Amino acid sequence: MRPFEGIKILDCTHVLAGPFAAYQLAVLGADVVKVDDPNAPDQSRESGADMALNVQGLGTGFLTQGSNKRCIALDLKTEGGRAALKKLATEWADILVENYRPGAFKALGLGYDELSKENPRLIYASMTAFGQDGPRGYMTAYDQAIQATSGITASTGTQASGPIKAGAPVIDYATGTTGAFALAAALFQRTRTNKGQYIDMSMMDVAMILQASHMVDYLHSGHQPKRNGNILRFAPQCAYECKDGVLLQIAASNGRQHKRFFEALGNPEEGARNSLKERYERFDEKYKFVADKMKEKTAAEWEEFFQQRHIPACRVRELREAVEDPQVKHRGLLHRFDKMEGAGKAMSVPLTAFRFAHGGASIERAPGRVGQHTDEVLKSVGYTDADIAALRKAKAVV
């Protein structure tokens, strides 16, 4: 039995962070119903490099986190659409997750205060850029904007390059992961209190937490993170160009590793100078020695050399190499659909970044089209065929 078997979730979110939070619970057993706006479906449905999939509303941005979810389409600007969502939230759901602008759901009569009166056990999560209130609560943003305003962009890159956004949408997926943890924590709390919970999640909060050590250092000493690119605190932590032009990222961080690293390179004298003071003050000398030495072998040869000596070092790989890494395959990180409707070929999507010995993540249902399961879901809370036909005629559902 997976952890969230029997838990019912209304996923009223779009793009990446919110859908990823619900997805993490879906692959661990929750019954997740994704709610699209029929007039403006989740924009991730048209996101990805395959334009044919985008046109079908099955873009890879959506497929990434759409498995195990049933898809319904409700126009919440209509009375019938709002009534249907309210019925699902009060009679069916354990959790409702939404990521619209602050106050939007409340204005529709679908806020936590109203819904929890009829369903006191409801866990309701709102995921926004800056939170529900405060001087910036009204502002909207996406991953790249939060990276910019949080200080992450300013500390990424080099002095020559200037600020650079991180390559992956790290804030979105970190917010989704944090959101899944918050939902799991609220469910656990409910087992003790028998009460629901309201969760106010902010992407900005997550971005700041991702810089926790930088924040504490700055608040204590005034030290600002610098755009040093691949130059880190100590020489055996930096990235170096090797004989083949490929970068090797070394991560020998502590004094013991520093000593072992230089001994491996045939310079035990430098390795012996491993006090914190000397590692700082002799950085330039140590760095030049390592940079010259790395030109003697390819990055792959150095990686094997150091790893055999228990010194952390990895050559810089592109994503195409990383997904084919035997370790990634061994870990079972990806689920493969041998055939997926609309895709025309096999597709692989992620599961979770951890493994359980039993009752872990699994996928049984492929991502759905807009409104594919509307009738099925509405019938589960008492709607008849005639009721649904009337809603469809009023363009409240698809």
List, by residue number, the catalytic residues: 172
DSSP assignment letter at 46: G
Residues 243 and 297: beta-carbon distance below 8 Å: yes
Residues 74 and 85: beta-carbon distance below 8 Å: yes
CA distance 397 to 240: 57
CA distance 146 to 142: 6
Nearest to 377 by CA among 6, 3, 31, 27: 31
> How distant, in Å, are the alpha carbons of 130, 133, 153, 215 from that of 147?
12, 20, 5, 15
DSSP assignment letter at 285: H
The 3-state DSSP class for residue 314 equals strand
**∠ CA 173-113-209 to the nearest 5 degrees?**
25
Residues 201 and 178: beta-carbon distance below 8 Å: yes
